[in-house]
Amino acid sequence: MISLQKYVKDTVPRNGMEHRMTVETFFEDFATGHTRQTIGRTITEADVVLHAGQTGDFYPHHMDAEWCKTQPFGKRIAHGTLIFSVAVGMTAGTINPRAMSYGYDRLRFVKPVFLNDTIRVNVSIKEFREDPKRPAHGIVVEALHVINQRDETVLVAEHLLLVERRPA
């Protein structure tokens, strides 16, 4: 069995630099206001078609270019759930064996994302909460802002991380 009690230092080269894949970060190690930003990801036709097939959401807003020309946006829009799932995946770069995703709150699709738009994600530590059910853990709230190539916010959400407290 693999022990998660020790610091694991797996590294892989990335652009000539060392990148830690696993880093232990306890609840007390997080700092309010700490931010990070992902690189860009272009939403493609293939993304939309695959997501429609996986979810069964073949609504014309996503699939029918001619129908969309008659609608206020004038062209096809990506599924909000596609943008959410891609954005979440974009933020998952380092494994923290002391934390797990506890869920998402306050998810809003602020503006449409069109095919061939490029999104990136800004993440910042918003707040900390006690966990009344698990005193050995706390909840770290990350604010996610997904922005397009025009720097417009297209999606916002709060990611809740259940994080182990440092042993006394």
pLDDT at residue number 15: 52
The answer as to whether 5 is a domain residue is no
Distance between CA 148 and CA 78 in Å, rounded? Answer: 13
Instruction: Read off the pTM.
Output: 0.85
In a domain? residue 2: no
- Look at residue 65 in the predicted model and tell me its pLDDT: 97
Q: What CATH number should be reported for the domain holding residue 140?
A: 3.10.129.10
Taking the C-alpha atoms of residue 70 and residue 144, their distance in angstroms, rounded to an integer, is: 32
Do the domain assignments include residue 86?
A: yes
The verdict on residue 1 lying in a domain is: no
In the chain, the number of structural domains is 1
Structure tokens belonging to residue 104: 């998402």
Q: Both tokens of residue 16?
A: 């000539």
Q: Around 122, how many Cα atoms within 13 Å sit in the side-chain half-sphere?
A: 15
Domain region containing 129? 11-164
3 assigned to some structural domain? no
Which pLDDT belongs to residue 36?
Answer: 93
How would you write the pLDDT of the chain (168 residues) with one tens digit per residue?
333 333 334 444 555 555 568 899 999 999 998 999 999 999 999 999 999 999 999 999 999 999 999 999 999 999 999 999 999 999 988 899 999 999 999 999 999 999 999 999 999 999 999 999 999 999 999 999 999 999 999 999 999 999 999 998
* 80 is a domain residue: yes
4 domain-assigned = no
Query: Is residue 6 domain-resident?
Result: no
Token couple for 121 = 């994600």
pLDDT of residue 7: 34
The three state secondary structure string of 25-47 is CCHHHCCCCCEEECCCEECCHHH
User: By the 8 A CB rule, do 86 and 40 touch?
Assistant: no
